[in-house]
Amino acid sequence: MRKFFVLFAFLSVATWAAELRVALSTEPPSLDPTTNAAAVIRLLLQHNLYENLVQIDEMGAIRPMLARSWEISEDGRAYTFHLRANLFFHDGTPCDAEAVRDCFLRAKDPGRGHVHPQYFANIERIEVVDEQTVRFILTKPDASFLTLLALGDAVVLPAHRHDLSRNPVGTGPFRFARWDPGYQLRLVRNPSYWDPDRPKVEALVFRFISDAAAQLAALRAGDVDLLVEVTPEVAKALEGDPRFYVLSKPQDLVQILAINKTRPPFTDLRVRQALAHAVNRRQLIELVALGYGSPVGSHLAPGAPYHADMTWVYPYDPERARALLIEAGYPQGFTATLTLPANYVFHVRTGEILAAQLAQVGIRLELRLVDWPTWLEQVYGQADFDLTVIGHVGRMDPALTLAFYGADRRDYYFRRGWENPELEELLRLGAQIAEPEARKSIYTVAQYLITKEVVNVFLQAPHRILVAHRRVDGLRLSSLYVLDLSTASIS
């Protein structure tokens, strides 16, 4: 009997340890990152379920993924990729050169529902050289093309599948098993994965727990092994607990106060300048991020390629903010609505602090909390807002990160009502020129123009924080907004 009990206990623990259970606050609205803009889809599924031709490692370098190697032509227009042998999608169909071609033809077709078909508009044609070799021919040189292919928008998926939003199919180390909306998403080990050394666990279970206190309780009770999207409060609470450890790293994400420039009084540059001068970034970081953040003055996060510090353009100066409001005809200030995504506690808390700061100069904010699908539909989709606080994930190349400010994105939610031909020309040049010093000059001026015109008020680059149980090993924390769990193990 004693031997039976010991054996049963061992099997129970072994089965339990085969799952890595992850808690997060936001549930994805879809499981297809190419047809829905929600960053949480990429966070959970890129590198775990979906993969790219190439990847960006923890140091920001381009590395092989589905493509084992590649060549670039001298004129910068032809990119030839050599795929790994015996690649298969989770449904058993080959991921060969023809499948890669069909995937990107789908991506660049505006009628197929891709979130950012304009990212692939520069692809003139795609050639299948042989079964494992595919060549992209660009209409003009693009210095950011390899980086683009490493992003969540460019994951390789089977173009013949039309149900990826609910039944995702990729090539990654984990495949889709089950999604219970409102509760959890389960991925299981892909037995046909091309790398025999990964993954290290049999399953990933993403638990959707919107309340930070409930997440903390679940970790302490042993119901989950890892917390992502960790609030600074939770990190502080666990720093001294020997059962857990905290990982923290600056991320390529910028939190902004986005402004609707089609609505008075924000059509007036002086009002927008008053907003910028009224924001105390240092106080915001201390109160909201508990120090886990870096102040920013542009759309490029510190540490991102070609970031330039623009916090000096509009330093915290409430007296100057009041004077600008008087010049603009608002001596008593005004009232505006700040729409916030209720599921993102970090942004809600930021909105509360901003309301207190702006009230000191006469700008009275009425906070309106909406759920994430409503925010995506009304704010992002219809530009129906006065002000909003949101995070914009970087794309590790300024040509991609600043694409929202280009000539072809004037209908973007925070671009409506504003344009700058000089900036648009700079962005056009920066996307084509590969020489680093020339790019640095171009993007420094571009960042200055965006900041000077107060297209948005740039607040902070929040740090990524993960908290894990001591039994979890092999975690990799990237500055990109991805959660690669293929190397994670449980002891």
For 139-151, the pLDDT digits (tens) are 998 988 998 999 8
CB-based burial label for 437 (10 Å; 0-12, 13-18, 19+): exposed
Q: Which residues pair with 469 in a beta bridge?
A: 244
Please choose, from the candidates 353, 387, 233, 340, the residue with its C-alpha nearest in 3D space to the C-alpha of residue 281: 353
Mean pLDDT of 103-128: 92
Domain ranges for the chain, please list them.
18-29+166-250+464-490, 51-154, 253-463
The CATH superfamily holding the domain 253-463 is Dipeptide-binding Protein; Domain 3 (3.10.105.10)
Q: pTM of the prediction? A: 0.74
Query: Which of 9-18, 55-64, 107-116, 121-130 shows the lowest mean pLDDT across its residues?
Result: 9-18
CATH fold of 18-29+166-250+464-490? D-Maltodextrin-Binding Protein; domain 2 (3.40.190)
SS3 labels along 79-122: EEEEECCCCECCCCCECCHHHHHHHHHHHHCHHHCCCCHHHHCC
- DSSP string for 6-71: HHHHHHHHHHHHTEEEEEES---S-S-TTT---HHHHHHHBTTTBB-SEEE-TTS-EEESSEEEEE
Mean pLDDT of 45-57: 95
Contact 86, 118 (CB under 8 A): no
51-154: CATH number? 3.90.76.10
359-373 per-position pLDDT tens digit: 999 999 999 999 999
pLDDT for residue 223: 97
Domains 51-154 and 253-463 share a fold: no
Phi, psi (degrees; rounded to nearest 5) at 93 = -80, 150
Is the per-residue pLDDT at 6 higher than 80? Answer: no
CA distance linking residue 168 with residue 150, whole number of Å:
19
pLDDT for residue 432: 85
Tokens representing 4 are: 């039976």
SS3 labels along 378-429: HHHHCCCCCEEEEEEECCCCHHHHCHHHCHHHCCCCCCCCCCCHHHHHHHHH
Q: Which helix (DSSP H) or strand (DSSP E) does residue 270 occupy?
A: helix 269-278
Q: What percent of the chain has pLDDT over 90?
A: 77
Give SS3 for 322: helix
- Please measure the distance between the N-terminal and C-terminal CA atoms of the chain and give it in whole angstroms: 27
Torsion, CA 342, CA 252, CA 152, CA 43, rounded to 10: -50
Cβ-Cβ contacts under 8 Å for 204 (sequence gap 6 or more): 19, 20, 22, 48, 174, 186, 187, 188, 485
Q: Which helix (DSSP H) or strand (DSSP E) does residue 462 occupy?
A: strand 456-469
| Mean pLDDT over the full length of the chain | 92
Contact 460, 295 (CB under 8 A): yes
Instruction: Identify which has the larger pLDDT, 277 or 303.
Output: 277
